[in-house]
Amino acid sequence: LEPAIPAGSLLAKWQLASSQAEKQKLAEQLQELLTSGASIPNESPDAKLYQQLASLNGPLFGGVRKTEPSPTIVDRHDGSDANWGVDPAIFGRHPNGSSIEAASLCVQAPSIIEIRLPVDLVGGSEFIATGTLHTPTGIEGSVQFQLLTNKPSLPKGLLAGSVTETQANGPWTSNNQRISHNLPIVTASGSEARKRVESSFDDFRRYFPAALCYAKIVPVDEVITLTLFHREDDQLARLMLDDAQKAKLDRLWDHLRYVSQDALTMVDAFEQLWQYATQDADPKVFEPLRKPIQDRAAGFRKRLIDTQPAHLQAVIDFARRAYRRPLAEAEQKELRDLYAKLRAQEVPHDDAVRLLLARLFVTPAFLYRSETTAPGKMQVPVNDWELASRLSYFLWSSMPDAELFRAAASGKLHDSTVLAAQTRRMLRDPRVRRLSIEFACQWLHIHDFDTLDEKSDRHFPTFTGLRGDMYEESILYFTDLFREDEPVLNILDSDYTFLNESLAKHYEIPGITGNEWRRVEGIKKFSRGGILAQATTLSKQSGASRTSPILRGNWVAEALLGDKLPKPPKDVPRLPEDEATENLTVRQLTEKHSTDPRCYACHMRIDGFGFALESFDAIGRFRQNDLGGRPIDAKSKLMDGTQVDGIAGLREYLSTKKRDVFLRQFNRKLLGYSLGREVQLSDKPLLTEMLAQMQASDYHIGTAVESIVKSRQFREIRGREMSNDD
């Protein structure tokens, strides 16, 4: 607390004065201060003293204020800035001109009443205003009161909630501190206006679920509750759902209550609550709930029994999907007999259904894609159900969808026109992404690339965070290839790819922002385009801390061109792992290594391909120098004498001189994947036909797929006595 007398003020000095003359002098100065109100700096001790002594709550006037009654009305002095209180002329008069009690103030809403009060008089006090409706004329009216520190504009309607205003030293002057107050609506008790307002508030409250206002509708801290699931979505349904959606919502609630069996749980909860109530209260209050709860439980028990046949039928219907074909009568009977046997052994219905499902999941028909063979050696067509599974697992790596099942059920899927139409439909479906992952990524040796952890964190700290994006680029690239029926040669030579911001920065391609993936055109100028320049293949065919022309060259020769190379000798020395610490470049080290007579025959077939890709580091970034700061040399001479310069030269070589070799390799890999077996000598005519059809259709990938699904290899199965040898 501050001292009663400010230190350093005239009065404080007067108290400390030692002589009478000094006291007299200080008293005269104090009198002059109080009578003249001389201008004094606000923060000086005498300014604080003046505020204390001149205040109506101060020691000079405080006693007067306590003994004298406060006036109801303070006279106004027109033309003065210190007009306090309320104009007395507005008292004792009704707005219609009639007289009322002299001390009463009556106005017609909307209206503003301004009251001016001195801070010294009301500082630290509470301002209370009361008001009622004028009974003779306002009985059916309604008024909203608002108390403000600043003059407002007249509102055009009700003000919602509470209003926050500001205050300073006293409660109703300037703008330093904040206060809040409610905005009551005043009506006459029992009036129609009051009923109308209350009804409107009730309507408004009904739009908000009780759970919004009371967080613990279900008392989660209680052991027992009679409210297991609280449903209050009627306003959602009324305002936002159509009839079909409402019906679906009702079904979902019914399923929840059915699966949870809350009708039975409620019986146990009620009994426990009733027992608790007998200990310290009168349980009679719970008795009206007993019969409805028990009746609901009885109805639910009957429903459980009535729905058991539907559950058994649902298992049989599921078996049709699990087996990917209709069930034979014997198979249906076997399932029904097993269920009956279990129930006869007093196995509960739920457990019996679970055992039936377990039986389905261990049957060969579910675990394997079995097909019916014919006796002898002759090939026979697979049936439409088997053909549907072949097609679906080829393109989607999953079971047929409803439309493909319908085509099989119609018996027309074996028709070439219908089969081709289904193939084109499935290639356009987003599920063909699985063909991109399971076929293309395995063929190119980048399957599960997003889990690759063979890179040196010291040399390539960004790789782990980017490997998922790198993998996604390749997946999206091939998914687009299948869905848009692009030419197969785009795999080698295209001017587009799929990027997000992080991968674009890795490739130093500007203008790509955001995490969303998009197709980006015109990327050859950044040395990108096709599978040769994607980070997945470049990273996978590299070492942990350096590039590997040998791995990359071998990958081009084997994966893209189908060249078969022998395994290297076991005692061949390994190249150094860290190119940054060597005096020679990786290319020079490889060339030195290749002079070994045991290695030369293979290296002359593969090294040229790898040297052409040396402009990319071990995680696929384009570079001018290696990790040791030495310039990159990406020019090379291939085994047939062709000179190529970097990726552009290699891309042109593969897509022109080696075009047919690449296409045959692609067709071999796609055919083997579709059939789930090695390509055999007897498949050579089909491969020749596929290549011819692709050449006639500008090499579109859909042509290769249709050629396969229309082939005898895809649509027929060998006889039981046919040897697997050609």
Lowest mean pLDDT among 241-250, 343-352, 426-435, 713-722: 713-722
Give the model's confidence band at 166: pLDDT under 50 very low, under 70 low, under 90 confident, else very high: very low
pLDDT > 80? residue 498: yes
User: Are 133 and 141 within 8 A, CB to CB?
Assistant: yes
Mean per-residue pLDDT, 354-374? 93
**Share of residues in the chain with pLDDT > 70 (%):** 86
Lowest mean pLDDT among 43-47, 106-110, 268-272, 308-312: 43-47
pLDDT on residue 283: 77
pLDDT > 90? residue 489: yes
pLDDT > 70? residue 438: yes
Compute the distance between CA of residue 674 and CA of residue 15 in angstroms, rounded to an integer: 110
Selected residue with higher pLDDT from 156 and 96: 96
- 192's CB contacts (< 8 A; 6+ apart) are 140
pLDDT digits (tens, 9 = 90+) for 284-323: 878 888 999 999 999 999 999 999 999 999 999 999 999 9
Burial class (CB in 10 A: 0-12, 13-18, 19+), 237: middle
Compute the distance between CA of residue 231 and CA of residue 470 in angstroms, rounded to an integer: 47
User: Are 458 and 549 within 8 A, CB to CB?
Assistant: no
Decide the pairing of beta strands 177-181 and 185-187.
unpaired
pLDDT digits (tens, 9 = 90+) for 505-542: 999 999 999 999 999 999 999 999 999 999 999 999 99
pLDDT on residue 225: 67
Mean per-residue pLDDT, 14-37? 83
Give the model's confidence band at 178: pLDDT under 50 very low, under 70 low, under 90 confident, else very high: very low
pLDDT on residue 1: 38
Mean per-residue pLDDT, 331-354? 96
Give a three-class secondary structure readout of 19-57: CHHHHHHHHHHHHHHHHHCCCCCCCCHHHHHHHHHHCCC
Closest CA to 622 of 535, 705, 703: 535
3-class secondary-structure state, position 14: helix
pLDDT on residue 667: 97
User: What mean pLDDT value characterizes the chain?
Assistant: 86
User: Are 552 and 613 within 8 A, CB to CB?
Assistant: yes
pLDDT on residue 639: 92
Closest CA to 388 of 433, 354, 341, 423: 423
Q: Tell me: cis bond preceding 110? Omega within 30 of 0 counts.
A: yes
pLDDT digits (tens, 9 = 90+) for 181-228: 567 888 888 889 899 988 988 888 777 766 555 555 445 555 666 667
Compute the distance between CA of residue 252 and CA of residue 260 in angstroms, rounded to an integer: 12
pLDDT on residue 44: 81
pLDDT digits (tens, 9 = 90+) for 37-68: 656 776 788 887 777 777 766 666 666 555 54
If you ran DSSP here, which 8-state letter would residue 69 be given? P
Closest CA to 538 of 561, 556, 565: 556
3-class secondary-structure state, position 288: helix
Supply φ then ψ for residue 144, to 5 degrees. -105, 125
Distance of CA 243 to the CA centre of its chain: 29
Lowest mean pLDDT among 122-131, 247-256, 323-332, 648-657: 122-131
pLDDT on residue 123: 67
Give the model's confidence band at 724: pLDDT under 50 very low, under 70 low, under 90 confident, else very high: low
pLDDT on residue 294: 95
Name, of 164-168, 387-391, 600-604, 630-634, the range with top average pLDDT.
387-391
Closest CA to 487 of 695, 665, 707, 708: 695
Lowest mean pLDDT among 44-48, 161-165, 211-215, 544-548: 161-165
If you ran DSSP here, which 8-state letter would residue 190 be given? T
pLDDT > 80? residue 390: yes
Mean per-residue pLDDT, 361-366? 94
User: Are 145 and 131 within 8 A, CB to CB?
Assistant: yes
pLDDT > 60? residue 79: no
Give the model's confidence band at 69: pLDDT under 50 very low, under 70 low, under 90 confident, else very high: very low
Instruction: Give 552's Cβ-side CA count (13 Å radius).
Output: 34
pLDDT digits (tens, 9 = 90+) for 549-573: 999 999 999 999 999 887 877 766 6
User: Are 705 and 423 within 8 A, CB to CB?
Assistant: yes
Give the model's confidence band at 86: pLDDT under 50 very low, under 70 low, under 90 confident, else very high: confident
Q: Which residue has the tokens 């007993």?
A: 290
Give the model's confidence band at 399: pLDDT under 50 very low, under 70 low, under 90 confident, else very high: very high
pLDDT > 60? residue 487: yes
Mean per-residue pLDDT, 130-155? 82
Q: What residues are paired with 181 via a beta bridge?
A: 163
Compute the distance between CA of residue 647 and CA of residue 641 in angstroms, rounded to an integer: 17
Compute the distance between CA of residue 490 and CA of residue 518 in angstroms, rounded to an integer: 17
pLDDT > 60? residue 345: yes
pLDDT on residue 30: 82
